[in-house]
Structure 1
Amino acid sequence: MDPVEITPVDTAATADASVNTAAPTAPAAPDADDLLSELLQPLRLAGVFDSRWHVRAPWAIEGDAAERCAVLHFITGGSCWLTGEGRTPIRLRAGDLAVLPTGSAHRLADHPERRGGAALCSVPPRRGPGPAGATGIGGSAGPESRLLCAGLRYDESAATGLYQALPWALVLDRAQVEQEPLLRDTLRLLAAADRPVGPGDRLVTLRAFEMALVLAMRNLLRDLAADPASLPVLRHPGISKAMVVIATRFAEPWTIESLAREVGMSRSAFTAAFRELVGEAPARHLTGRRMEEAARLLGETSLPQSSVPPRVGYQSAVGFHLAFRKWYGMTPGEYRAGSLSAA
């Protein structure tokens, strides 16, 4: 059977495509940090909504599911329970940080069985991104707690199959947060009632939350790497190596066969395992990585548009143009113009 190309449908690309004919070898285990970087690299925030809550029992806060939005809850005082439909309740205490990578629907409350309550998005008044004063809810005499809650909207390139496969909620306890002074101090500053406000505050807040999220995820993912049941791809030598190859060598003329050989697997076993562990086909994952890099080059550099295709694995400008438009819903030129306008 002829190799199935996962570079663009383009005669020039097909003519130039090379296939690795070396005999299969056992895949070397990739550096864990390489794979973690592949997950963390796309985490660039496009917007932040944050609020501080001062609550007294009985109380509950309902958070709806949010697409392409991570949710962060930092407990600055007291304690609470984090629950979700069909999820095991998680007890959070002062100093703990909970991260919901994909913004799953959830509930914060003084008791795991508490229902109803205020909507997380109902921070008065209605407003654009930015900080808000403390919102008080609940009773008047019960135990009190204080929280920093934030919805962190990330660039759509972060929503890879691997990222979507992360557990619904990840928690760093107080001791783990304290071991990361930069994370600890950033969270405390963001949670402070008298947080400094001045020129460029919105951008500073955005980047501060972005740093807090990446620092937290770095620690959480390292813990996951030691627990194959939590994220099996991190312990599969072939698929984890393929993830690193795609992340770092996306400009090469890969086929499914050559990728499978690169990691010492048969084509069928590689394709099946990749779909199961990553959540999408290897061809789509490779295309996503190429499109992510193309968008970065168009939006953040002055590189001529004609120089972008070969840097992301396309031998033909037409093939790249069609692939980019299908992925983003706009042409490369329109994307660059929009990025310049936003800047």
Structure 2
Amino acid sequence: MDALTEVLKSVQLQCVVHCRADLSAPWGIEIDRVNRSEFHVIVQGSCWLEVEDRKEPILLVGGDFVVLSKGTTHRLRDALESPIVRLKDLRADSSCQGQMRVQYGGGGTRATVLCGNASFENHQMNPLLPALPSLILIRGKDGKAVEWLDLTLKAIAWETADDRPGSEMMIAYLSNILFIQAIRAYVASFKQDDAGWLRALRDPQLSVVLTLIHQSPEKNWTVDSLAKQVNLSRSTFAARFKEQVGEAPLQYLTQWRMYRASRLLRSTDLPLVAIAEQVGYQSEAAFSKAFKRQNRQSPGEYRKSKH
């Protein structure tokens, strides 16, 4: 299992397309800031995207796929002067056709947009969100989604076009695929000066090391032992890891251990000594000290606050 798969399993990714918006000019919708990632697919037509804290609007056209990983307040509209309504108000309107369908606008040029979100277990501590930019934009080609994305989008569009038995479950699975595809596309587009563990997945040797750390945090890893796993000298490995991931190997290992520990504290009743062993600490005291240093509260206090 690779490092990205391990992280995606651990963060309990849950995605859903919450509506298919059939729009006609003039139209404009505002999506409030949320504690989730938001994403939109322009199925047909075009629109402007305005994002809080970004000066310039972005023109989106058919086939474009945009992810706002931090859940920032944003607007979609056919023209920059078109009036705005909140999406949550449109979805609550009894005149909309079904839970998945929104129809809105003045009857002019048409556009169709799929709107969805992605949530994660333990939003504040999970390692995926900090590694993502606030906006990921995957451009289509000639008004259509890129080939690797097209089949998923067609399946979602078909499921959201009508209310079918089992459609909610199908859309949830397809939405997860959609979001993971966006992350993979982002990883493939890294520039030379980008840093972070996602970028390091493109390095064959560092990818092996990250997978080892993610799968087996309980092992007594050292810089030397990790370097030997990929046939690199200690100094070469440490320098490359720091350059590409943005932090030292053992610092990254500690953060992953603490994330795994926080998940065990929330989701199980295991005693602290057992959790300590599972994340690589020889004693409960050593684990508690490391956890408190990282999270500013003891494991016991953290567990109580999450129950």
Could you state the TM-score of these two structures normalised by the residue count of structure 1? 0.63
Residues 1:310 and 2:277 are matched in the alignment: yes
Residues 1:299 and 2:266 are matched in the alignment: yes
What CA deviation, in whole Å up to 9, does each residue of 1:101-152 have, x standing for no partner? Answer: 34456543325x66873455666769xxxx96755555x1321223332333
SS at match of 1:285: helix
SS at match of 1:169: strand
Describe the shift of the 1:186–1:135 C-alpha distance in structure 2 as closer, same or farther (beyond 3 A). Answer: closer
Describe the shift of the 1:64–1:239 C-alpha distance in structure 2 as closer, same or farther (beyond 3 A). Answer: farther
1:97-246 matches, cutoff 5 A: 97-103=65-71, 106-111=74-79, 117-119=84-86, 138=105, 140-155=106-121, 156=123, 157-160=125-128, 163-164=131-132, 168-170=136-138, 173=145, 175-180=147-152, 185=155, 188-189=158-159, 191=160, 194=163, 211-224=173-186, 226-229=188-191, 232-246=199-213
Query: Residues 101 and 169 of structure 1 are in contact (CA less than 8 Å); yes or no, is this contact kept in structure 2?
Result: no
Deviation, structure 1 residue 160 = 3.8
Deviation, structure 1 residue 335 = 4.6
Letter of the 1:211 counterpart: Y
Quick one: distance in 2 between partners of 1:43 and 1:171?
Answer: 27
Query: Residues 217 and 253 of structure 2 are in contact (CA less than 8 Å); yes or no, is this contact kept in structure 1?
Result: yes
Quick one: distance in 2 between partners of 1:117 and 1:192?
Answer: 24
Letter of the 2:131 counterpart: Y
The answer for unaligned runs of 5 or more in structure 2 is: none
Quick one: distance in 2 between partners of 1:299 and 1:176?
Answer: 37
Query: Residues 39 and 65 of structure 2 are in contact (CA less than 8 Å); yes or no, is this contact kept in structure 1?
Result: yes
Describe the shift of the 1:292–1:35 C-alpha distance in structure 2 as closer, same or farther (beyond 3 A). Answer: same
Describe the shift of the 1:273–1:88 C-alpha distance in structure 2 as closer, same or farther (beyond 3 A). Answer: farther
**Aligned counterpart, 1:15:** none
Quick one: distance in 2 between partners of 1:331 and 1:184?
Answer: 48
- Equivalenced residues, count: 290
Query: Residues 44 and 154 of structure 1 are in contact (CA less than 8 Å); yes or no, is this contact kept in structure 2?
Result: yes
Residues 1:93 and 2:62 are matched in the alignment: yes
Higher RCO by CA contacts (8 Å cutoff, separation 6 or greater): 1
Aligned Cα root-mean-square deviation (Å): 4.3
Could you state the TM-score of these two structures normalised by the residue count of structure 2? 0.69
Deviation, structure 1 residue 37 = 1.3
Residues 1:36 and 2:13 are matched in the alignment: no
**Aligned counterpart, 1:249:** 216
Quick one: distance in 1 between partners of 2:76 and 2:207?
Answer: 35
Describe the shift of the 1:252–1:217 C-alpha distance in structure 2 as closer, same or farther (beyond 3 A). Answer: same
The runs of at least 4 aligned residues of structure 1 exceeding 6 Å deviation read 46-49
Letter of the 1:235 counterpart: R
Describe the shift of the 1:304–1:273 C-alpha distance in structure 2 as closer, same or farther (beyond 3 A). Answer: same
Query: Residues 306 and 317 of structure 1 are in contact (CA less than 8 Å); yes or no, is this contact kept in structure 2?
Result: yes
Query: Residues 72 and 150 of structure 1 are in contact (CA less than 8 Å); yes or no, is this contact kept in structure 2?
Result: yes
SS at match of 1:179: helix
Describe the shift of the 1:332–1:123 C-alpha distance in structure 2 as closer, same or farther (beyond 3 A). Answer: farther
Deviation, structure 1 residue 251 = 1.2
What CA deviation, in whole Å up to 9, does each residue of 1:31-82 have, x standing for no partner? Answer: xx71431453344257979455343223344456656x21121445544344
Deviation, structure 1 residue 338 = 5.7
Describe the shift of the 1:273–1:86 C-alpha distance in structure 2 as closer, same or farther (beyond 3 A). Answer: farther
